[in-house]
Amino acid sequence: MSALPQTFADDVINQDLRTQFETFLDEHRRALNASLDGLTEEQARRRLVQSRTTLLGLVKHAIFVEKVWFDEAITCRSRADIGIPATPDESFILGEEDTIASIQSAHAEACEASRRAAANAGLDELVLGNRRGPLPLRWVYLHMLRELAQHCGHADILREQIVNPD
Q: What is the mean pLDDT of residues 71-93?
A: 96
The distance from CA 47 to its chain's CA centroid, rounded to whole angstroms, is 20
- The chain-wide mean pLDDT, for the chain, equals 94
The set of residues, in sequence order, having a beta carbon less than 8 Å from that of 25 and lying 6+ positions away, is: 141, 144, 145, 148
User: Tens of pLDDT along 120-161?
Assistant: 999 999 999 999 999 999 999 999 999 999 999 999 999 999
Between 151 and 166, residue with greater pLDDT: 151
How far apart CA 106 and CA 112 sit, in angstroms, is 10
Q: What is the mean pLDDT of residues 65-88?
A: 96
How far apart CA 26 and CA 42 sit, in angstroms, is 27
pLDDT confidence tier of residue 2, bands split at 50, 70 and 90: low
User: Tens of pLDDT along 24-57?
Assistant: 999 999 999 999 999 999 999 999 999 999 999 9
| Residues linked to residue 126 through DSSP beta bridges, in sequence order | 136
Taking the alpha carbons at both ends of the chain, their separation in whole angstroms is: 34
The set of residues, in sequence order, having a beta carbon less than 8 Å from that of 17 and lying 6+ positions away, is: 123
Inform me whether the pLDDT recorded for 9 exceeds 90: no
pLDDT above 90 as % of the chain: 89
